[in-house]
Amino acid sequence: MKAVILEEANVFRVDEKADPTPSENEALVRVRHTGICATDVAMIRGLSPLVIAPITPGHEWVGTIEEAPKDSEYAPGEWVTMYPTKGCEVCAACLDERPHHCNSFRVIGVHQDGGSFAEYLAVPLDQLIKLPETLHNIHGALAEPATVGVHANLQGGMAAGKRVAVIGAGTIGSMIGQVARGWGAADVVMVDRMPARQKLAADLGFERFVLVGDGDEQENLLAYDGEFDIIFDNVCVEQTLELAANSLKSGGTMVTLAFPHDGQKLVVPYMTAYRRELHIVFSRNYARGDWDHTFDLMSKGAIDTERMISGDYPLENFVSAMDDLRDKPDEHVKVVIST
């Protein structure tokens, strides 16, 4: 089959790779669509250390069953995706279906070979997830990043009537904002340092936007009807954490979810956080049960995947898709590879 092979940082190509041979507990899946995630970009461009190499990346996918064990609940042609997180399966977190808290946490296609920038995958049956009919197409590839948004909202205690701000208005921020709106947020303000993100936010129906970098962001954010109940920080640098802390109501919640740099410390203005008795919660990845919320929201049309998909490239053109993402950051939100 054809697959992307990442040999080392910045050394990658589409090449022939042996077809996967499923074991008796696995199904063979024909990959249909895979989103390129910031994690893939970081791996491929050497912005995060490669855990193993060579590796075929890709974890935001939908596909169809090619072959499944006869006694399984899957039939050829059926549309599926994968819960890509694996744990040790024996620790308390794993037994509680929270492998994202397991000490041996790993994601297929990130920390383990077998990613979906390939024509076929062998997928453990217990990692497969059936897709609702509305997602039997390219839009299904956005279910995984949408689930990151669902998890962040669950962590933040999102409920109807809350005033919300989202710092970092790219793919994940847009998902967080749309989930919050889908769950009845009274207000969602998007915050970013890239002017192009204002257009994206507006297209997604978020008219309220604050551009970071001119020094007026604090004032501009609070100008939208005052302090917030929940602020999601996808960036988590000192400046954004301070902006978040200073813009929350007393008793408000800051949800931090940027991927941490090695040795990074979370620096928040303690006096503000103390006086306001802020809640600071962290959000990593998602739990398996979070996907049900995603399917519900996506089936209702709460996530505008049409606007978020900025490119659809065949697998053979993976290298040019990556180059376009790098060279035209203003034009792209989610680029999908179709096989």
Residues that bind Zn ion (CB under 5 A): 37, 87-88, 91, 94, 102
Query: Which is closer to Zn ion, CB of 144 or CB of 192?
Result: 144
Q: Which is nearer to Zn ion, 22 or 140 (CB)?
A: 140
For residue 63, the one-letter residue type is G
List, in sequence order, every beta strand (DSSP E) within the chain.
2-8, 11-16, 26-35, 60-67, 79-82, 85-86, 106-107, 120-124, 128-130, 163-167, 187-192, 209-211, 228-233, 248-256, 279-282, 309-314, 334-338
Alpha-carbon distance of 244 to 152, in angstroms, equals 15
Measured at the CA of 177, the angle between CA 258 and CA 236, to 5 degrees, comes to 20
Work out how close the CB of 259 gets to Zn ion at its nearest, in angstroms, rounded to a whole number: 10
> Is residue 48 classed as helix, strand or coil in its secondary structure?
coil
Q: Closer to Zn ion at the Cβ: 94 or 337?
A: 94
How many CB atoms within 10 Å of residue 298? Answer: 23
CB of residue 170 to Zn ion, shortest distance in Å: 12
Q: Residue 234 is encoded by which pair of tokens?
A: 């996808």
Rounded to whole angstroms, how far apart are CA atoms 271 and 279? Answer: 13
Query: In this complex, which beta carbon is closest to Zn ion, that of residue 62 or of residue 278?
Result: 62
Q: Shortest Cβ distance from residue 285 to Zn ion (Å)? A: 9
Q: How far apart are CB 40 and Zn ion at their closest, in Å?
A: 7
What minimum distance in Å lies between the beta carbon of 148 and Zn ion? 7
Distance CA 281, CA 262 (A): 19
Both tokens of residue 232? 């999601």
- Shortest approach of Zn ion to residue 110 CB, angstroms? 8
Query: Which amino acid is it at 104?
Result: S
Q: Which is nearer to Zn ion, 86 or 163 (CB)?
A: 86
Residue among 88 and 129 whose Cβ is closer to Zn ion: 88
